[in-house]
Structure 1
Amino acid sequence: IKKGDTVMLILKQRIEVWVCMLALHKIGAVVIPATFQLTPKDIVYRCNNANVKAICVVDEEEILQNTEIARPECRTLDQVLVVGD
């Protein structure tokens, strides 16, 4: 991830949200906070319209599953980063 890259955060209300936001802002990346209630279709739409390069996602089964279902249709997505305990 580098300056100008777009990163979507699907992290619920965790401390990692703020750590990720600060780190991404520091390197000049664009942060897109997203609700954990997104469907795979919603994730694809946001990824493709915002040219998302990476998604930071919380390690909860339903959220991970929706992200993995969406992943093949996300044209610019390079990485899915899983945050958890």
Structure 2
Amino acid sequence: MIAAKRLKPFPVLAAIMAALLFSSAVTAREISVQEAMAMIQRDTHAKVLSVQTLRIDKRKIYRFKVLTPGGQVRVIEIKADQ
């Protein structure tokens, strides 16, 4: 019978965390206002009335005012760095 080598948990965990951090940094990108609008329309079926682009703490945020299918006006904020 071959003895299985047991890995130490800390180095394995550190490697996994490093891989996750690297992959999220590589895949993070800024979405356009048109992409954000398409997401809202697809997910809520609301009509976009207006949009503002805000900068809060060096982050870009799109603030949409929408009219829901039920006739209510709502404000939806989407972070550009998805």
Shorter-chain TM-score above 0.5: no
Using structure 2 for the length normalisation, give the TM-score: 0.30
Instruction: Pick the structure with greater CA Rg.
Output: 2
Higher helix proportion, which one? Answer: 1
Higher strand proportion, which one? Answer: 2
